[in-house]
Amino acid sequence: EAGVTQSPTHLIKTRGQQVTLRCSPISGHTSVYWYQQALGLGLQFLLWYDEGEERNRGNFPPRFSGRQFPNYSSELNVNALELEDSALYLCASSLRGQGDEKLFFGSGTQLSVL
Amino acid sequence: AQSVTQLDSHVSVSEGTPVLLRCNYSSSYSPSLFWYVQHPNKGLQLLLKYTSAATLVKGINGFEAEFKKSETSFHLTKPSAHMSDAAEYFCVVSANTGGFKTIFGAGTRLFVKA
């Protein structure tokens, strides 16, 4: 069974550009979560999608947005990139989105903003 | 309100000696507690999970954690460290606060010396 897959694995962008990150959850999982892991800052919750709808959002500006498609895959979009957006972006999925479930993580997308 | 504090940012042990990674939590609700491990350049993997059943939880790779409500702690232990245990460990609290909210600790980097 395939795990959570993320693409691309690495990205280099410049300030002001826009970026789209992609995530495919484990087959049968309806919930997708996005986290930002910046150096020395641990995991910061970005977004939670379940059944195609945004269920919760972390303390990030509106230029961070996303969506979930009917096949439960998800995109994270970041507009007007800033240097501090450089981080590992992790996607996770869970079966039912109940919050107390095990999260399955992808290997992440490493974003570098120059 | 919920919070989770990992008391040590770094822990260094010798191979074959015990491991103790400390985690304190705060929650106004009955929380679920987790430990995840992240090896370099990888996503996170669940080690173990507590959900109000037995207070001593056994996980993968010989790790276990004890839930102590009176001390609001959920420390992770292993009797004998192996070189392959070197990684970053995250303590996580999740509770239904009118919608599940999951908070990650800042992480503890475990170093294992030969």
The CATH number of the domain holding residue B73 is 2.60.40.10
- CA A56 to chain centroid, in Å, comes to 13
Answer whether residue A76 shows pLDDT above 70: yes
Domains in chain B: how many in total?
1
Tokens in use for B97? 């606060």
CB-CB contact of A4 with A106 (8 Å) = yes
Domain holding B56, by residue range, is: 2-113
Kindly indicate the confidence band of residue A86, based on its pLDDT and cuts at 50, 70 and 90: very high
Interchain CB distance below 8 Å, B99 and A56: yes
Kindly indicate the confidence band of residue A106, based on its pLDDT and cuts at 50, 70 and 90: very high
- Write the single-letter amino acid at B98: G
Fold of A5-95: Immunoglobulin-like (2.60.40)
Interchain CB distance below 8 Å, A107 and B45: no
Nearest by CB to A102, which of B49, B96, B99?
B49
Among candidate residues B37, B33, B29, the one with its CA nearest the CA of residue B75: B33
